[in-house]
Amino acid sequence: MELFEKKSVEEIKDLLDKAKKVVITAHLNPDGDALGSSLALYNYLKDKKECCVILPNNIPDTFKWMPGCNEILIYNHDENAAKVSEADMIFALDYNTSSRVDKMQKVLEDSPAVKVMIDHHPNPQREIFKYIFSDPEAAATCELLYLFFEACGFEVSNDSAICLFTGLTTDTGCFQFNCTGQRTFEVASKLAAMPIDRAEIIHHIYDSYSEGRMRLQGYVLSRKMVVFEKYHTAYIMLTKAEADKFDYRVGDTEGFVNLPLSIEHVKFSAFFMERDGIIRCSFRSKGGFKVNTIAERYFNGGGHDNAAGGKSFKPLEEVVKRFVSLLPKITKEIQDK
């Protein structure tokens, strides 16, 4: 069945027409796709509705240039929970379960608004979302949102196109990851036909690092990367104190987890770091080994087949020790894929 089937699309257009207040949400620790999809929709709706983007926590500096970014609200119960409760419609973009909005979860669940999910993570939570447009084959939520705009007959403005292109670029690692499909290029091609400056987008995302971030990357690769040839696995563990020595700012470690996968025999990579009092775990793989099952089974998380994450409330060293102890158990899974 077609993802954006006519009946649902017509219903949503009708609901949007009638809605007075619309809230757009995306996941904790927003990335380029979460921000790109939220802001693309926001830039379409902002002149037509009372509309806002509310995110669970901070936006990395790398993305603060995006059109509409300055108007994003960061969730704070006292300041903006009422917006969620009083909304007529809520869009959930780039996440598949309400726990991914962290402290906003209960307010989101309790809100009587009509909830619409557009997302590309496997196994969407059905209970609280009235409309679910979920396609794990999509490389990015921005890919799906473009198709949603098309299905609705909504015009994609230059500002929205910039945001959509950002999400496509970041979630595909500049169109290199396996998830990049024919349709991804088709959407990219339509965006590329618009008068947007793609070189400037790439410049903002990849050529605007701080000196500290570059030196931190060097430090991590030369001193912190542990490779287990036998298990085709590598991991990086970074303490808060180490990161702070390089003037760490939110987003600086984005992409570090991918680096070990450039080693020929490494098929599975992990990155562990303390953030906001908990240990954030990131997993990546190349080939058929599914890291979302590892994130789900052992690290309170989830994600895509080749890119997943999780968390732990235990001390960093303990989390990493546990990870290393898992390797002999899953070595066959890694090897066979």
Contact 35, 225 (CB under 8 A): no
Residue 302 binds which of ligand 5GP, Mn ion, none (CB < 5-8 A, kind-dependent) = ligand 5GP
- Sequence-distant (≥ 6) Cβ neighbours of residue 210 within 8 angstroms: 247, 249, 252
C-beta closer to Mn ion: residue 38 or 233: 38
Residue 184's binding partner out of ligand 5GP, Mn ion, none, with CB under 5 to 8 Å set by partner kind: none
Cα 42 from chain centre: 17
Which of the listed partners (Mn ion, ligand 5GP, none) does 307 bind, with a CB threshold of 5 to 8 Å by partner kind?
A: ligand 5GP
Among 215, 286, 311, 337, binds ligand 5GP (CB under 6 A): 311
282 scored as a contact of ligand 5GP (CB under 6 A)? yes
Question: SS3 string of 149-179?
Answer: HHHHCCCCCHHHHHHHHHHHHHHCCCCCCCC
Closest by CA to 125, choosing from 108, 140, 142, is 108
Positions in the binding site for Mn ion (CB under 5 A)? 33, 94, 141, 171
Residue 309 engages ligand 5GP in binding (rule: CB under 6 A): yes
Query: Can you tell me whether residue 289 is helix, strand or coil?
Result: coil
Q: Are 169 and 160 in contact (CB under 8 A)?
A: no
Note whether 243 binds ligand 5GP by CB under 6 A: no
Q: Is 310 an interacting residue with respect to ligand 5GP (CB under 6 A)?
A: yes
Piece in contact with ligand 5GP (CB under 6 A), picked from 145-153, 182-190, 200-208, 297-305: 297-305
CB of 290 to Mn ion, least distance (A): 17
Instruction: List the structure tokens of 94.
Output: 């780039």
Residue number, 62 or 83, with CB nearest to ligand 5GP: 62
Residue with tokens 């300055």: 70
304 lines the binding site for ligand 5GP (CB under 6 A): yes
